[in-house]
Structure 1
């Protein structure tokens, strides 16, 4: 028979833990473990506490013991790799978001549902990597009703599968049919809607009556068409999801840079100033003035004609300034009244075309100097017709050299001294 005792320095009383006869309801092995746990407690707790413990010993021991997973063999990270098709790096990033899962039962049900509705292995892997909590979705309460409602709208199985893979979180959290129906009527086609959802999947989770409809109605009042709104959703993905007062402030800011509602540049202006604070806007204007040596009037003209200049970074603007002003020799005022040229690719368009014109001029193949704005703004087909094809006999390598320059090379004929 086991017996444990402890003599405390400030007590003379000996505490005996010799067990009474085993109760019938417990097996000897169980009772032995309880005695051991009780002994451990006597070592950890003051003797004065032993007499005041009111909790049953079993409850006290279970409260102190660490929680044990119902299925300690379930490893989330391994499941994501082996079953969902994620890479080890993706699984390591995703696993903390679903670490509460103790068994594969729920994710298995979700994966079975997705496979049954046409999502490929690659689609599932992409969806789970983007939104790991999709594996915790309620199949019967959310996913299945959403699919049923979308089928009722006339969407095919393939269309629904594509929407699920794009919408992700919105699809698992709420009913999307009413929003989808509204967007279909707004954008006109399912393909156009998918392009918007691909860039702004959270739109399907926005409140239809309190957020989306008021914002769309306001933008329509400002003179934007449905196509303009769809493009705004792609480039300024949170625009429709913001509150109406913030949207009104954006419109006022666009008007403040000289672009009135209903004008041709209004959509671009709204995109340029979306979520741009007054301080950042002021800094952008000052950067443009300094970079291109513009006056206040000239920078105002340039921005009103090409609002997207406000979205260009400092390095991009500086390279264009150095080339157009220092190398080509254009006046700052000329550029201010024709700012569209600053939105073209420097390496793929502006520089190669300038080299062609300079080559033609130096070889006496141009009767008069062309407008550089015309040179830069024309389509590729029109530029070839105006400056390449008429000189095929006199400059047989011109077209080949131009194509090479468009790819970033500098042909021998374009290396001017």
Structure 2
């Protein structure tokens, strides 16, 4: 019998001697986290006592214990570090291959293609600063630019049946922000809940606007698109491969209807083939979910109040889709193995509401987390530097990758664009191919 159960039994035997407040306090202070770091299990929840003082005491005790247990969850897998919030200066690693931002912006003659990476833009304000800035950057050369919207395109839960007009208006603001090529991929908030109805409404709207939404039909993918084909004047093409892991969270029973890739292992096998076939290309592999992050989805604190709330969500739904969760790792491990076999130039994602550039490790040249597309979602944003971090900031904005001509080949220039800034706040050399 553990300490919580013994303490509870003593309290239960003598509860007639407690006032309501004293009883609640006694229960609170005897709570403990399991050694594994997960939420504690309290015997009074399994076998609730019969209160002879006040039902209010039981309610207070329950709330107190849920708060404590969610706090224990919040401590599990937490990343310790400095929070580089919007009002603070960003983290920039000494090892980052920085270049002068103004000098890094290419003239049209030197630009091959611009890829704009923006995620979690699904709750725009009436005049959303991120979308306004995105339009300025994407529409300089709209015929030479692709904008990847990295999921969570409609908050809070996709396009709901009784709120279609509102959901479509959220999408319209994003679509109308630029005349460049636009590609949308799904995120967990686009699914909303079990089933794919909300996701398919988003797909139908974007189809009507002749905007790509991939992977299709609530399936995992992967989906390959060519942004720039190899030509006589271009040694390598520019392509993107995208996939979605949310079917295994929200629509597991229906994944079997998707062609081929009904398990993470099957998805990884096809991804492996696509990566091998395009290993010499400028390749952007994209998903809503990051491989690594120094933000809350990687275990960094959201702040005490938010940690309690998200801990409660975990207790109710069993997942926050955080990178350290067992279910997340089970899905991503075979995918990571495919990436390691043939690393792309960039792995790009959203999910965390901040801006990060990381060394790619075994899985890519560089990893990008760009989930700061909606100012409302970034306020109070939390992010710290982790191993391999080159840039980290909890500020609204997006990331731009310019593929430019360089000698006999091409080179990538990476820029972090934040609202209220005309020039990039960070630019670096992303390497050559």
Q: Which of 1 and 2 has greater Rg?
A: 1
Higher helix share: 1
TM-score, structure 2 length as denominator? 0.19
TM-score, structure 1 length as denominator? 0.20
Higher relative contact order (CA 8 A, sep 6+): 2
